[in-house]
Amino acid sequence: MIKLNGMLMIGSAGANLGKTELACAILRKFGRNGNIIGIKVTTIKDTNGQCPRGGEGCGVCSSLDGVFCITEETNRGSEKDTSRLLICGAGRVFWLRVVREHLVEGVTALLDVIGPDAVCVCESNSLRE
């Protein structure tokens, strides 16, 4: 079991239900000092090119090379969720894309990057499991 003592996790039953907006509101209120890390976790069920939401998809699932990828967001000029977290007050923002079966491995690697005492606001539907 992984301990996530300094993490506020925001999840929901699906997509487009306001997780990022809630994270942004929290960061606007408490992230003024830049001491909160923003995290977005995208759990990938299948990398076969089929979008879990249907249609063409965005390429996030099919472009994963390996079982997880950690990316630090530095672009404040984008409309991506990770960029929004940065704009709203996170000191640093990380995006973990991870195959579902390797979630513990990916989160462990992310915790190695941010440190054990980090205070985080995390957007994830699957990490609570």
Q: How do residues 20-69 score in pLDDT, each as one tens digit? A: 999 999 999 998 887 999 999 998 886 565 554 555 555 555 567 788 99
Q: Are 124 and 41 in contact (CB under 8 A)?
A: yes
* Predicted structure pTM score: 0.87
The structure tokens listed for 72 are 């630090």
Please state whether 127 falls in left (phi above 0), alpha (psi between -120 and 50) or beta: alpha
Alpha-carbon span 76 to 70, nearest angstrom: 18
The structure tokens listed for 17 are 């239900």
